[in-house]
Amino acid sequence: MPRPVPTVTAGAPRSGPEVVAARIVTTPPGPTAAVGVVRAPGEGTGAGDDGASGGATTAPGRATGRVTLAADGVWEVSVHPDATATGTATDTATGTAVDTAWRTAGADLVRRLSDLVSHHPVRAKRHLVQVEVPADAPLGGIRRFVVGLTVGGHGAAVGTRATAPAVRDVHLDTSRTRLADADVAAAVADGQVTGSATALARDIVNAPTATASPAWVAGVARDRAAGIPGVKVKVRDADWMCRKGLTGVLAAAAGTSRPPVLLEMVWDPEKAAASAGSSGDDGNPASPGDGAGTVGSLGRDRATVVLVGEGVTAGGAGSVPAGAAPWAGEEARRCAVAGAAAVIAAVDALARLGARRKVVALVPLVDLTAVPAGAVPGAADVPVVTGADTGGATAGASAGGGVAAPPGSTGVTVCGGAVGPVDGDPVRVYGGTVVDTAGCAAAGAAGRARLLLADAVGYGVHKYRPSRVVTVGCLSPDTAVALGDRTGAVVTRSRGQAQRVTRRAARAGERWWPLPVPTYLDAATASPTADVSLCPEGPGVLVAAAVLRRFAGDTPAVHLDLGGATTSRECREDTDPLGTGFGARSLVEWLR
């Protein structure tokens, strides 16, 4: 992990017996476009005399209806001619330009040819897929096509198909275009980085529960960022969180099987520029026409942004109560860690693209799988013991270590202070704010997720003084119920900010719908026994956003609720079944 993606290059055409020939055509697909084309024995493929994959068929659930085999033995993928001018099409529902044609073409082609290559009789043979790019292809279209090539077919590894060979090398023949070679190379590099962000997010979301411990997810982020100038990754353990007062994370993790961690990942362009100045090379691809530039000083609109991702790595099925959303179980678990995956992948991509703003990722990671009956986590794992073992609550807990639980409470002691069972008893989080957890048990893992995010938001605002704080996760089933499985919610009081996110994300092919945070909901977050009510009644996702705003203070806050878009049950556009990696590209396009 993470799983590799195809390597894409561009330039003059190549030749050789290992080349699988393909081309992009700007003819809309007809009603008889083949799905899962079956080659007759001996039919040419452009792969040489060995006739790769005679008789290969498309795997179930993999959409390849736009890919056909032409009479000359070249695979053709269609792009609607309306998309050739700008590389985008208009979504009539939102009125924004949503990239679909070029990304989908790239994804369809790589899926079909992966099936072709995987059935080659010499399984170790390494093919080169060469795609002829039409003369009227726009630079943005090429970039999006590369994104599709990178993410198409990149789903969960299941059974023996994990070892099947796939397309590893793709070369774009751009000899017919009038585009400068340097611009094309930059567009290809940009598309690879952006597509790899989605692939990385999918890998994290699709990891099995037994693998995806908090420490494992943090390790993936740390290993991925290793060697990138300007990136610093720190993995904070429970003892560190005790000392710093992030007791909300520890209270949420109390009684669970694996210790929590806080991932702190910082991309600092000024430090990257200093490093590049000493080496004479910034090491980052340019991004033609998309707003990224040379790594350097922060501009007026490039102040620090803090991203906080919900990271419930296991036990997150409770984040979607039974019957409240179109799914439950494993799909809900993937949703509960999708915020963490999107934030980690986005910061990694922003660093590789040389984004000019400082971006901080704070990802509290917990496994909410309960400890088996009779087992208690030791101090070496989580600094938490049951209230029964301590003889009751400790009165007068310090500001950094929880709040005294009422007599008779079955709560836990965190860092020397008694904390209730996250359902009614108060919990003191970072900065000394006391939260009322009444109603959180009914909210399932989503209730504990609010504790995680509240702690991280307070810590991030205090330490980094950002211009904006963005929370990312699945805090209510309402989003999936209202918006379905292809659209997320942008929850903010700033109409301009909502429009900016929606439009920029549409360029990445991800759909969002703005939702308000009415001021009257502020009253719902008040509590007679604490500073903030963590799980009050009201419209779920709006109330959750209103609650998290309380911990941001005067810093503008935006919540991106991923909802049903984190999981797909079918193959569509550039997504494959199971985790979609939704949100990662949106963050990259917004913050680059």
Taking only the tens place, the pLDDT of each residue in 342-388 is 999 999 999 999 999 999 999 999 988 764 444 333 333 334 333 33
* Spatial contact of 147 and 196, defined as CB atoms under 8 Å apart: no
Specify the 3-state DSSP secondary structure of 56: coil
For 15, the token pair is 């030749």
In the chain, what's the furthest Cα-to-Cα distance? Answer: 82
Sketch out the chain's domains with CATH numbers: 7-27+62-193 (3.40.220), 207-274+301-377+409-591 (3.40.630.10)
* pLDDT over threshold 80, residue 261: yes
588 or 416: which leads in pLDDT: 588
Question: For 13-33, what is the mean pLDDT?
Answer: 76
Residue carrying structure tokens 């419209």: 539
Residue 572's pLDDT band (cuts 50, 70, 90): confident
Inter-axis angle of helices 584-591 and 495-507, nearest 10:
110
For 199, the token pair is 């692939």
Cα angle: 207, vertex 564, 450; to 5 degrees: 80
What's the mean pLDDT when you consider all of the chain? 77
How far CA 80 is from CA of 18, 268, 511, 533, in Å, comes to: 29, 40, 20, 51
Question: For 76-84, what is the mean pLDDT?
Answer: 74
The distance from CA 316 to its chain's CA centroid, rounded to whole angstroms, is 17
* pLDDT over threshold 90, residue 22: yes
In DSSP notation, 4-15 reads: P--EEEEES---
Q: Which helix (H) or strand (E) holds 108?
A: helix 101-118
How many alpha carbons lie under 13 Å from residue 226 in its C-beta half-sphere?
6
Please tell me the predicted confidence (pLDDT) of residue 148: 94
* pLDDT single digits (tens) 169-180: 999 999 999 999
Residue 124's pLDDT band (cuts 50, 70, 90): low
* CA–CA gap between residue 376 and residue 393 (Å, rounded): 17
Specify the 3-state DSSP secondary structure of 253: helix
For 109, the token pair is 């082609």
Q: Tell me which of 410-419, 518-527, 556-565 is least confident.
A: 410-419
Beta strand ranges found along 70-175 (DSSP E):
75-78, 89-90, 97-98, 128-132, 169-173
